[in-house]
DNA sequence: TTTTTTTGTATATATAATAGATACAAAATG
DNA sequence: CATTTTGTATCTATTATATATACAAAAAAA
């Protein structure tokens, strides 16, 4: 369970947790039936309050990724295939946001693509 | 004066304004001595409150980019050359954050670069 | 000059989001 | 049983963002 928290990021912590878990679920790194750490344990591992993790889990449950089964712990209930349309839209939205932010220094297209190529493998593997 | 506001973005509006202006100043698109729109005019153009633009201008003044001269309007007082190291670091940080967020759906390098190429011109011009 | 408009500024407020501490009850564990 | 561990609920602190509105000085118009 390798979750990275960036406190400098404008993305709230509960979302960072949620999104990284979601990625692990959709790729099958966390697969159906697997028990995930209790809210308390993960909170303690990450050094955040239990409510922060609880919110991440709660939203993942709402989206059908896992089940918070009473007080029996939490486990993955589905590894949905990402909706291709939604996936495409998401990338577009993230990219627009990203490029807008780069305008603080105004980079050339080539500069940006170069860094993407350099960082991609580092982040993805 | 082409400033884009993304209300969906986690980046606050006043920062979006500030950062895009900063970009224009550093590239010389807005150069020394140029009068920039009044706080009210820009606020009205962008559809935000005057305080939001005022905050952007105020912070740019604090950083030495422009002067809010009493009630005589606002003008650019400097076109600092971006520190190349800082500029490079900034792009790397943004890119890492961006790629980390894309992991919610896991894209190929080519998918990402394709969208970057498609969106770049749209955002930059 | 006098009046009107336009400027940046200050204040007070609404709203929302984030995250935390803490207590609770049900289930699992021993 | 008793204890520990679970998710849940509640209440609160803090901060950030953005707004409306009023103000006074300067500029522009009359």
Which pLDDT value is given to residue B95?
Answer: 95
Region of A28 (left: φ > 0; alpha: ψ -120 to 50; beta: rest) is: left
- Nearest-CA neighbor of B16 among B56, B45, B50? B56
Report the pLDDT averaged over residues B24-30.
91
Which pLDDT value is given to residue B69?
Answer: 85
Q: Which of A94, A111, A122 to mutate to test the interface with B (most CBs of B within 10 A)?
A: A94
- Nearest-CA neighbor of B11 among B68, B88, B94, B89? B94
- State which residue of chain A sits closest to B97, comparing Cα positions: A9
Report the pLDDT averaged over residues B33-40.
93
Q: Read off the pLDDT of residues B78-113 as tens digits, 9 standing for 90 and up.
A: 888 889 999 999 999 999 999 989 989 989 999 999
Q: What is the pTM of this model?
A: 0.88
The answer to whether A27 CB is within 7 Å of strand D is: no
Per the structure, the residue whose CA is closest to nucleotide C27 at C1' is A71
Which pLDDT value is given to residue B63?
Answer: 92
Query: Phi and psi at residue B35, in whole multiples of 5°?
Result: -85, 130
Q: Read off the pLDDT of residues A35-58 as tens digits, 9 standing for 90 and up.
A: 999 999 999 999 999 999 999 999
CB atoms A96 and B119 under 8 Å: yes
The answer to whether A72 CB is within 7 Å of strand C is: yes
CA B64, C1' D11: Å apart? 44
Which pLDDT value is given to residue A79?
Answer: 87
Q: What's the start-to-end Cα distance of chain A, in Å?
A: 15
Which pLDDT value is given to residue A43?
Answer: 96
Report the pLDDT averaged over residues B47-66.
95
Q: Read off the pLDDT of residues A61-102 as tens digits, 9 standing for 90 and up.
A: 999 999 998 889 999 998 888 899 999 999 999 999 999 999
Report the pLDDT averaged over residues B26-49.
93
- Number of Cβ within a 10 Å radius of residue B104: 20
Which pLDDT value is given to residue B11?
Answer: 93
As a whole number, the mean pLDDT across chain A is: 93
Which residues in A85-101 are b (16+ Cβ under 10 Å) and which e?
A: eebeebbeebbbbbbbb
Which pLDDT value is given to residue B111?
Answer: 97
């Amino acid at each position: 369970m390798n979750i990275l928290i960036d406190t400098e990021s404008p993305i709230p912590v509960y979302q960072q947790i949620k999104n990284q878990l979601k990625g692990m679920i959709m790729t099958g790194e966390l697969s159906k039936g697997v028990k995930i750490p209790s809210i308390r344990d993960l909170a303690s591992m990450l050094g955040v309050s239990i409510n922060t993790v609880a919110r991440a889990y709660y939203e993942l449950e709402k989206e059908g990724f896992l089940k918070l089964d009473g007080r029996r712990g939490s486990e993955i209930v589905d590894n949905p295939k990402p909706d291709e349309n939604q996936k495409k839209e998401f990338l577009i939205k993230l990219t627009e946001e990203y490029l807008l932010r780069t305008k603080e220094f105004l980079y050339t297209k080539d500069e940006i693509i170069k860094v993407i190529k350099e960082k991609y493998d580092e982040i993805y593997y």
